[in-house]
Amino acid sequence: MRPQEAVERALSLSRADDCVVIADEASTANLRWAGNTLTTNGVTRSSRLTVIALRNTADGVAAGVVSRSAVGADGIEELVRAAEADAAGNEAAEDARPLVAEGPPSGAAGWDDEPAETGIGVFEGFAPALGEAFAAAQADDRRLYGFANHVLTSTFLGSSAGLRLRHDQPTGLLELNAKGAGGSAWAGVGTRDFTDVDVAGLTGGLARRLEWGERRVDLPAGRYETILPPSAVADLMIYLYWSAGAQDAQDGRTVFSAPGGGTRVGERLSDLPITLSSDPAAPGMQCAPFVIAHASSRESSVFDNGLPLAATDWIREGTLASLAQTRHSAERTGLPLTPAVDNLAMRGPDGGASLEEMVARTERGLLLTCLWYIREVDTQSLLLTGLTRDGVYLVEDGEVVGAVNNFRFNESPVDLLSRIAEVGETGPTLPREWSDYFTRTAMPAIRVPDFHMSTVSQAT
């Protein structure tokens, strides 16, 4: 059964007061390698049907949400009844709001078309290039490790309020890790279809970094002038973004809570004109232009399904401008409705320098490659810990002079905003730590005069 038909069938079978149905059709293809050889691979297909049954009660509206994979035509009624049974047993939901009647105009396009699909063929041009990279690495006594993944999800959203919205989301990533005499180096890119992935360019960059690493320098823990490249900045800003829920801030339990009550929206976080934003139409980072919520949480609401999304500044010119909202939390906080969007970009003043230019004007400092195992230590300050990984380099008089030991850092991305000394040019990047969940980012490199390297890590 086609997903569009499944949505219509579920809606027509519904006996609830209102109903939302989401059908997701997904296909994936992946290659994984280690030590210049393939280790695992695979292709998958899946389908999921989520029924959100809504029941009017004396106190409001109760929701029942049931999600099942591989539902055939004869299983839809049982799924609908299961959602209705859950709705019958549940109390009125706090986040209940009238169903969205109109999504973005572009959201309905292609409703009747077949779901998009990927397969092992997406690597048609990439796999031979990878094979050549393995051979070259082997010849140069280097080892390549990494992962290429492509996911294509077609989502069909229908509701008893008349919504019919569709979104096709391609999500691809490549991670390349090289090891050799110069230690370890990493590069990663996000992609929509792998046609834009330059394997030779990436491995060339890794070889250069391994050359840098042939001279080793031991440094103690401490605060160092540090250039964080775009991938590292992405990982820190994503955590900040995930912590920017309006409801929790209003409840007084996040770094964005004002000490006397309310939120910190409107407060200046950086003296530099830094802007952190999301835009569903951002070129190369396109994502769903409407809310798709399979379950309610603090930052999303099943009642908001289909709500149009727009370009949103979270931090504008250094000032906290918005927090992630549902309609429910927007009413509670009295702030504009700004739901979360599935991409993130950071920009500084115009004319930001390239990473190479930033290195060239560094008297003495550290250049990182990426961050790893980032976890929250303290919620109130959003203190995060984590480690440097796959290349920390010492820069002296504008030149990389060798590779430094790894460090554990303890830093808050919110506090960092107030200490950034320079923001480079923004470009697409892949967050190393969070690429499982978040790939669509564009970030600059940043210079921090006193990045806190808390302890030394022996890892090489």
Partner 1 sequence: MHDIDPAFTALPLRALADAALSRARELGAQHADFRLERIRSQTLRLHDAALETALDADDVGLSVRVVKDGTWGFAAGIDLTPEGAARVAERAVEVAAVARAVNREPIELAPEPVHGERTWVSAYETDPFEVPTADKVALLAGWSRLLLGDDRVDHVDATLLQVKENKFFADLAGTVTTQQRVRLHPVVNAVGISGGLFDTMRTLAPPAGYGWEWLSGEHWDWDGELARIPELLAEKLAAPSVEPGVYDVVVDPSNLWLTIHESVGHATELDRALGYEAAYAGTSFATPDKLGTLQYGSKVMNITGDRTAEHGLATIGYDDEGVQAQSFDIVSEGLFTGYQTDRRIARLTGAERSNGCAFADSSSSMPIQRMANVSLRPAEGGPSTEELISGVERGIYILGDKSWSIDMQRHNFQFTGQRFFRIENGRLAGQLRDVAYQASTTDFWNSMEAVGGPQTYVLGGAFNCGKGQPGQVAPVSHGCPSALFRGVNILNALKEAGQ
Binding to partner 1 (CB under 8 A): which residues in 7-66? 28, 30-48, 63-66
Taking the C-alpha atoms of residue 342 and residue 101, their distance in angstroms, rounded to an integer, is 22
Restricting to residues 116-135, name those near partner 1 by CB under 8 A. Answer: 120, 123, 127-128, 130-131, 134
CB of 186 to partner 1, least distance (A): 8
Determine if 329 is a binding residue for partner 1 (CB under 8 A).
no
Q: Which is nearer to partner 1, 353 or 383 (CB)?
A: 383
Restricting to residues 405-424, name those near partner 1 by CB under 8 A. Answer: 406, 408, 410-412, 415
Taking the C-alpha atoms of residue 406 and residue 403, their distance in angstroms, rounded to an integer, is 9
Restricting to residues 133-172, name those near partner 1 by CB under 8 A. Answer: 134, 138, 143, 145-147, 149
Which amino acid, one-letter code, is at 288? A
CA atoms within 13 A on the CB side of 287: 21
Among 10, 337, 341, 383, binds partner 1 (CB under 8 A): 383
Which letter does DSSP use for residue 254 in this model? S
Which stretch, 314-322, 330-338, 359-367, 385-393, contacts partner 1 (CB under 8 A)?
A: 385-393
Q: Which is nearer to partner 1, 68 or 192 (CB)?
A: 68
Determine if 109 is a binding residue for partner 1 (CB under 8 A).
no
63 CA to centre of own chain: 28
Mention every residue, 6+ apart, whose C-beta is less than 8 A from residue 178. Answer: 137, 142, 143, 144, 145, 184, 185, 186, 203, 206, 207, 209, 210
- 173 near 439, Cβ under 8 Å? yes
Size of the chain, expressed as the number of residues it contains: 460
Restricting to residues 79-98, name those near partner 1 by CB under 8 A. Answer: 82, 86, 89-91, 93-95
- Give the pair of three-digit tokens for residue 66: 């049931």
- Nearest CA to 210 out of 235, 234, 176 is that of 176
Which stretch, 15-23, 156-164, 313-321, 378-386, contacts partner 1 (CB under 8 A)?
A: 378-386
Q: How far is CA 29 from CA 129, 146, 149, 173, 403, in A?
A: 17, 14, 6, 11, 35
Restricting to residues 256-285, name those near partner 1 by CB under 8 A. Answer: 257, 259
Taking the C-alpha atoms of residue 398 and residue 353, their distance in angstroms, rounded to an integer, is 14
Q: Which is nearer to partner 1, 120 or 281 (CB)?
A: 120
Which stretch, 237-245, 312-320, 336-344, 452-460, contacts partner 1 (CB under 8 A)?
A: 452-460
Restricting to residues 388-407, name those near partner 1 by CB under 8 A. Answer: 389, 406
- Nearest CA to 403 out of 231, 227, 210 is that of 210
CA atoms within 13 A on the CB side of 161: 19
Q: Which is nearer to partner 1, 13 or 133 (CB)?
A: 133
Among 295, 311, 360, 421, binds partner 1 (CB under 8 A): 295
Size of the site for partner 1 (CB under 8 A): 94
